[in-house]
Amino acid sequence: MILSIRVFMIFLLLMVHSFAIFVIASSLAGERFRWRRYLLFNLVYLVIEWLQIGLSLLVPGLAQFGDDPLWMKVMDAFLIIVLVCVIFSRMYHVAIDKAFAIASLGHFLTYTIIDFLTEAAYFYSPVFDGGYLFVVTTLFVPYILTLAVIGGIAYALRKTEFSKYFSYLFQGRVRTAVTLVICFALIFMKIILDFIFSGATVDFAYGLLCFSLIIIVLFCIQFGAMYAASADKVRAQEETIAQQQAHMELLEELQGEIRAFRHDFTNLISGMALSAQEGDLDAIQEFMQRTSGYFDEKLGNEIKQMEGLTNIEAYPLRSLLSTKLGVMRQKRIHVALEIMNPVTRVKMPTEDLLRCQGILLDNAIEAAAKEEGKIRIVLLQDHGELYIAIANNYDEQPDLGALGKGNYTTKGKGHGTGLSSYRRIVSRCSDCMMRTYLKDGFFVQELRIPVC
């Protein structure tokens, strides 16, 4: 065959390979397919592959009729996976463990499908005299079919929101480890199979085995992920119930206080009625002065807190806040909570927002002055951002410089616990801004998050 046709065919096949890997990987990650990133990937991929082809051509005896030695296959797989990992972790900001899993799964899927289809085509294609037609039926057709199959899989992955389940596989160390080991095994699946059944004839049945393997693996992953997701859901629900209970307790407490207040108030009023009967204007005026602030003082704060809480429409955040308010009440810390506008969804994932908020509140509770502790919480959503400020007074002035360093938490004293993970979470969310400062005897933590 003419060399140029040969080169063209290899080029085409490589393009299909890289496109398939990228499409699968991006739909596994649940990210949008971006042409520019794909082109970059494609370029590097082509370079790697051509280098390998060049290597096997230049070194005589390395490749025996298109069958590369084992180490070259391993290296090829390794390079591609590293490339996908780098692209996804750097450009899509996917965590490195997830990127690895995505890369190996994508690699596995693509290669298995291509293998199967070429085998099938080879098996079924009639024998022609001309080489060209043979090439078309055994290479061109299966590769085009590959594209269609990959497209179908990508569509299915997106439709079933596989990426969501997929990320459940990376929560917790054990799960991540198991997932990564499985992925690692998948990469070398074909190589291992080849190695074990080296004598097996490559035919249609073999391809069918590969294909059913993919389906089983995908099914297993989906099942595992769904199982993990449902376990998480149950735990989340349990947490919500606990937080609702805390909220109920707050309500009951408030009710108790209202009852006490009513009792007090009837006494006071009856006292005043007596002075009114006697026409003692001074006594009445004094009474008015004394009692005008009484209601606010007794119940104003609680009512204000409840009002603020009802303004939070993001339910998990509301229950978190009410739980923390309960803790503050127990510790006799005076709380000023102000939430003027309804708080809805923000750009940060809910779990991250909850963790940030929880860390800030816990820190404030821990650091607030032992005597007459005061905490101020402000949430304000307007102009496309959610503004959070949490301020506490303190006994000992915190060292802001040291606070920035990761090791501040390990210095004991319990102050600033979780601060490093707080910063990590915030830096993960783009366009957020955090500010820490001291003002008028208060240590203030500010966080501004764009609203979606």
Partner 1 sequence: MIPVYICDDEPKISALLEKLIGEQIMMMERDMGPLQVVDNPLALLELQKKGTVPAIYFLDIDFPGYMNGLELAVKLREYDPRGFIVFITAHNDMMFETFRYRLEALDYIVKGDAPAMAQRVNACLESICERLLHEPDGKAAYCSLKLFDSVRHIPLQNILYFEAIGSRHTLVLHMDDEVLEFNSSLNHFEEKLGEAFWRCHRSFLVNWSRISNVMLKENLVEMDNGERCLLSRKAKAEYSSKMSENKTL
How distant, in Å, are the alpha carbons of 44, 238, 345, 363 from that of 316?
Answer: 44, 12, 11, 19
Q: Residues 373, 403, 408, 415: which binds partner 1 (CB under 8 A)?
A: 403
Site track 180-199 with partner 1 (rule: CB under 8 A), x = hit: --------------------
Site track 358-377 with partner 1 (rule: CB under 8 A), x = hit: ------------------xx
User: In the complex with partner 1, which residue's Cβ is closer, 31 or 239?
Assistant: 31
User: In the complex with partner 1, which residue's Cβ is closer, 172 or 441?
Assistant: 441
Q: How many CB atoms lie within 10 A of CB 79?
A: 16
Q: Residue 387, interface with partner 1 (CB under 8 A)?
A: yes
Q: How many CB atoms lie within 10 A of CB 348?
A: 24
* Closest to 365 in 3D by CA, of 326, 316, 319, 411: 326
**Part of the chain binding partner 1 (CB under 8 A), chosen from 23-31, 33-41, 363-371, 428-436:** 428-436
In angstroms, rounded to a whole number, what is the distance separating the alpha carbons of residues 253 and 245? 12
* Main-chain phi, psi angles of 435, to 5 degrees: -140, 140
Q: Residue 404, interface with partner 1 (CB under 8 A)?
A: yes
- Least Å distance, CB 180 to partner 1, is 22
Site for partner 1 in 68-97 (CB under 8 A): 90, 93
Beta bridge partners of 97: none
450: left (phi over 0), alpha (psi -120 to 50) or beta: beta
How distant, in Å, are the alpha carbons of 62, 335, 354, 417 from that of 373?
Answer: 76, 9, 23, 18
Q: Residues 11, 237, 400, 441: which binds partner 1 (CB under 8 A)?
A: 400
Q: Residue 384, interface with partner 1 (CB under 8 A)?
A: yes
Site for partner 1 in 151-170 (CB under 8 A): none
User: In the complex with partner 1, which residue's Cβ is closer, 201 or 430?
Assistant: 430
- Least Å distance, CB 436 to partner 1, is 4
Amino acid identity at 130: G
Q: Residue 378, interface with partner 1 (CB under 8 A)?
A: yes
Contact 32, 26 (CB under 8 A): yes
Q: Residue 389, interface with partner 1 (CB under 8 A)?
A: yes
User: In the complex with partner 1, which residue's Cβ is closer, 152 or 293?
Assistant: 293
In angstroms, rounded to a whole number, what is the distance separating the alpha carbons of residues 328 and 223? 42
| Contacting residues for 104 by C-beta, under 8 A, at least 6 apart | 81, 183, 184, 186, 187
In angstroms, rounded to a whole number, what is the distance separating the alpha carbons of residues 133 and 141? 11
User: In the complex with partner 1, which residue's Cβ is closer, 275 or 436?
Assistant: 436
Q: Residue 432, interface with partner 1 (CB under 8 A)?
A: yes
Q: How many CB atoms lie within 10 A of CB 283?
A: 15
Beta bridge partners of 338: 378
User: In the complex with partner 1, which residue's Cβ is closer, 279 or 384?
Assistant: 384
Site track 212-251 with partner 1 (rule: CB under 8 A), x = hit: ----------------------------------------
| Contacting residues for 201 by C-beta, under 8 A, at least 6 apart | none
DSSP states along 301-320: HHHHHHHHHHTB-SHHHHHH
Contact 127, 138 (CB under 8 A): no
Q: Residues 155, 331, 435, 441: which binds partner 1 (CB under 8 A)?
A: 435
In angstroms, rounded to a whole number, what is the distance separating the alpha carbons of residues 372 and 393? 9
Q: Residue 438, interface with partner 1 (CB under 8 A)?
A: yes
User: In the complex with partner 1, which residue's Cβ is closer, 73 or 304?
Assistant: 304
Site for partner 1 in 292-351 (CB under 8 A): 296, 300, 304, 336, 338, 340
**Part of the chain binding partner 1 (CB under 8 A), chosen from 104-112, 135-143, 199-207, 430-438:** 430-438
Q: Residue 427, interface with partner 1 (CB under 8 A)?
A: yes
The footprint of partner 1 (CB under 8 A) covers: 90, 93, 296, 300, 304, 336, 338, 340, 376-378, 380, 382-385, 387, 389, 391, 400-401, 403-404, 423, 426-428, 430-439, 444, 446, 448, 450
